[in-house]
Amino acid sequence: MSVDADKFEALALTVFQYQAIYNPTYRAYLNALRVKPESIRQLNEVPFMPIGFFKQHQIVSAGKLTTEAIDRAVCFASSGTTDATTSHHYLFDTDLYRAVSQRIFEETYVPLTDFHILDLLP
C-alpha cells in the first residue's frame, strides 16, 4: 500500500480513531484530557501519548485480537540504563514488521543485500 502526502492525514486520523476505540490506555488518557475523539478533525489536534506510558502500561490496540494473540505478541524493550525501567512495544505480526522495516530501509538507503550488519549485544 502506498500513501501519498495528500492521503496521509486522512489515514493518520483513521488510525487515531481506531486507537481511541481499541487502545484502553490511550482511551483513558484521552478521557483524562477530556478529548472527544470524534471532535478531532486535523492531525495537529491528536494528543500524543507520553513515552512514559510505554514504561508503565501494556500499550496495545487490540481490536479483535484474542487474549491468546496478545499473550503471544513479541515484546521489544527499549535499551535502558542500569536500573532504569524500559519502554515496551508489542508486535503481533513479525512478518509484517520485517517487511515494512526492510521496505523503509531500502527506500531510504540501498537494498539490504548490499549490507553486512554487525551487532554487539549483551
Residue-wise pLDDT for 21-61, tens only, equals: 999 999 999 999 999 999 999 999 999 999 888 888 888 88
Could you list the residue range(s) of the whole structural domain that residue 98 is in?
5-114
Query: Does 120 reside within a domain?
Result: no
The pLDDT of residue 60 is 81
Q: Is residue 74 part of a domain?
A: yes
- Provide the number of structural domains found in the chain: 1
* Residue 85 within any structural domain of the chain: yes
The answer to the question of residue 122 being in a domain is: no
pTM value is 0.70
Classify residue 17: in a domain, yes or no. Answer: yes
Residue 44: inside a domain, yes or no? Answer: yes
* Residue from 55, 52, 63, 58 nearest 14 by CA: 63
pLDDT at 119: 79
Domain assignment present for 121 = no
The pLDDT of residue 1 is 61
Mean pLDDT of the region 55-80: 76
Say if 33 falls within a structural domain: yes
pLDDT in tens, 76-105: 888 776 667 888 888 878 888 889 999 998
Of the candidates 90, 89, 92, the one whose C-alpha atom is nearest the C-alpha of residue 51 is 89
pLDDT at 122: 63
